[in-house]
Structure 1
Amino acid sequence: MSDKSIGVIGLGAMGRGMAASLRRAGWRVHVCDVRAEAAQAFAAEGGVACGSPAELAAQCEVIVSVVVNAAQTEAVLFGDGGAAVNMKPGSLFIMCSTVDPNWSVQLEARLAAQGVLYLDAPISGGAAKAASGEMTMMTAGTPAAYAKAGGALEAMAAKVYRLGERAGNGSKVKIINQLLAGVHIAAAAEAMALGLREGVKAEDLYDVITHSAGNSWMFENRMAHVLAGDYTPLSAVDIFVKDLGLVLDTARATKFPLPLSATAHQMFMQASTAGYAREDDAAVIKIFPGITLPPGAAGA
């Protein structure tokens, strides 16, 4: 497979690891990022740096987009220097962002009009699993799109779920995952805050909960950040402002009530407005009054 080229646009926490996983699997990986230095650093390790999505698309028939949201995906495809201008009929665009499912459906149709295949393929698992090729992909698309992907999906992910033969279900399942993730983080922060308020040592509470029925993956992962007083953004507060907003927008269209999601969304909104927007999403704990957080927690 060493002669097969693939492009990765977006070298953030997830995209960088995905590009590395593809390279380990034998692909010739072309990369592009708004930070030219990120692309050059990857090229120094054996990849190929491109100056724009259009330049990348001219060299790759399969493109993996790992940007933050729908607006950035639009820019990657249709903005100045966008990939769409150089995407040939029969080429494939794999969209890995968390977006409105209806927008993903529309993008599939828009690309189909120029003969380009599309996979609705949001991702989950965090930077560590992306780097090891062990993340989860929630995908939907035509049989032709899957065929064009070859082994690329399996090179990036340990679990590749095929959820339908047209776009939409991949994004629907991803936002439901984000519903749970956001609510779990908010609940974990609330529980830790109550423990601190009641005078329980944070490390004692963490140890007990992580060995008891009340534990969750998010409690174990995110409250470790609180114990360390480290809010370096692995996933920022504003990611859940966006993602829970997508959850609520989707449910609102069919008048479906989501009381826990709405409350968690307000908690992340409060944290964002209070100045913690770019901190790790565990910083939602900082909205609770009258508690003393472990040392170092006051900083960004």
Structure 2
Amino acid sequence: MTVYARRKENPAGARTNRAALIGIGSMGLGMAMSLRRAGFEVAGFDVDAAAVARLVDEGGRGAASPAEAAEGADVVVSVVVNAAQTEAILFGANGVAETMAEGAVFVSSATIDPDVVRRLATPLEATGRLYLDAPISGGSVRAAEGALTVLASGSPAAFARARPALDAIATNVYELGDEPGVGAAFKMINQLLAGVHIAAASEAIAFAARQGLDIRKVYEVITASAGNSWMFENRVPHVLDGDYTPRSAVDIFVKDLGIIQDMARSAKFPVPVAAAALQMFLATSAAGMGRDDDASVARLYAKITGTELPPPANLTKPA
């Protein structure tokens, strides 16, 4: 495994590379801005026309389809949610596989099953293009700062072609293997822990409220104690402020923990803690909060137990 830190600035006089960015949500827009700062010409596509307009406002070029965005690009960065979207971007109508430059690299950041990654990579690489399996971690703020972490695997040629773009979007890039799929497997371990930690943090803060404790004081004490986790420290403030703006939605973990269940079943490996967390995310989604912030698991606990939490401040129909 190799880890490298990005170069902070593009050298003066460096050539301008052509990049395409498919999926211009909060993460994708931040990544596009980072690519622009590094000297890339960025063309982007999103199904949401307003997202494309935001890219144009930041100096990028809007495109009417993935194929148009990828035309002649050296690197195509895909920032979508799942395997079906990734496959459609590659091989569907107006897909990028035929318009990418010969020898260009497709950088896939979606969190998907490692076996599916390999299934997608094989036909793309048969066309003379490259596939880098590159799930990301860090959130929208770090995306805008060019400070993501990338868990990547692929051929040496794919890494070499993608390196300028990786330097632009990330401070740490883990080179985890020489074929696609390894990065996805690493990301699943991260998602198992992240999902369990969010569910546990939600359970703990709702239970504290049920006990009549000052939950702001609970947050202060736990973040200075052994029971703290990154997810407790990051997500509980959403509960305290009643702010369920979806930085990461409940349904993301329904998907990711579901993939982990499938992988574990295939490997005949028990994951009972992850399974319990999945049930809480599923129940939260079923209660109408699937598109809300994943800290909404705490709202589910409150709802089913009659516990009072700070009311949602940014929802038209509080759950």
Q: Give the TM-score, by structure 2 length.
A: 0.91
Deviations 1:104-151 (A, max 9, x none): 011111111111100000001111111101111000000111111131
Judge which range, 144-153 or 230-239, deviates more: 144-153
Amino acid at match of 1:294: P
Q: Distance in 2 between matches of 1:273 and 1:2?
A: 50
1:299 maps to which residue? Answer: 318
Decide whether the 8 Å contact of 2:44 with 2:61 is kept in 1: yes
Decide whether the 8 Å contact of 1:30 with 1:48 is kept in 2: yes
Decide whether the 8 Å contact of 2:151 with 2:176 is kept in 1: yes
Which residues of 2 match residues 1-300 of structure 1 at below 5 A? 1-288=14-301, 289-296=305-312, 299=318
Deviation at 1:16, TM superposition (A): 0.8
Decide whether the 8 Å contact of 1:88 with 1:115 is kept in 2: no
Judge which range, 263-272 or 46-55, deviates more: 46-55
Q: Distance in 1 between matches of 2:217 and 2:244?
A: 20
Deviations 1:147-187 (A, max 9, x none): 11131101101110000000111000001100000000000
Residue 82 of structure 1 aligns to a residue whose secondary structure is: coil
Amino acid at match of 2:74: E
Q: Distance in 2 between matches of 1:72 and 1:84?
A: 14
Q: Distance in 2 between matches of 1:3 and 1:281?
A: 39
Q: Which runs of 4+ in 1 moved over 4 A?
A: none
Amino acid at match of 1:225: H
Deviation at 1:85, TM superposition (A): 2.4
Deviation at 1:264, TM superposition (A): 0.1
Decide whether the 8 Å contact of 1:36 with 1:51 is kept in 2: no
Mind listing any 5+ residue stretches in structure 2 that lack a counterpart? Answer: 1-13
Deviation at 1:275, TM superposition (A): 0.9
Judge which range, 283-292 or 173-182, deviates more: 283-292
Q: Distance in 1 between matches of 2:54 and 2:287?
A: 35
Deviations 1:237-261 (A, max 9, x none): 1000001011111111110010110
Residue 77 of structure 2 aligns to a residue whose secondary structure is: strand
Q: Distance in 1 between matches of 2:33 and 2:67?
A: 21
Deviation at 1:2, TM superposition (A): 5.0
Decide whether the 8 Å contact of 1:9 with 1:64 is kept in 2: yes
Q: Distance in 2 between matches of 1:88 and 1:47?
A: 19
Aligned residues: 300
Decide whether the 8 Å contact of 1:232 with 1:280 is kept in 2: yes
Deviation at 1:43, TM superposition (A): 1.5
Residue 265 of structure 1 aligns to a residue whose secondary structure is: helix
Q: Give the TM-score, by structure 1 length.
A: 0.97
Deviation at 1:87, TM superposition (A): 2.6
Decide whether the 8 Å contact of 1:231 with 1:299 is kept in 2: no
Amino acid at match of 1:22: L
Decide whether the 8 Å contact of 2:152 with 2:173 is kept in 1: yes
Decide whether the 8 Å contact of 2:244 with 2:293 is kept in 1: yes
Q: RMSD between aligned alpha carbons? A: 1.3
Deviation at 1:287, TM superposition (A): 2.1
Amino acid at match of 1:293: L
Amino acid at match of 1:71: A
Q: Distance in 2 between matches of 1:270 and 1:31?
A: 35
Decide whether the 8 Å contact of 2:66 with 2:89 is kept in 1: yes
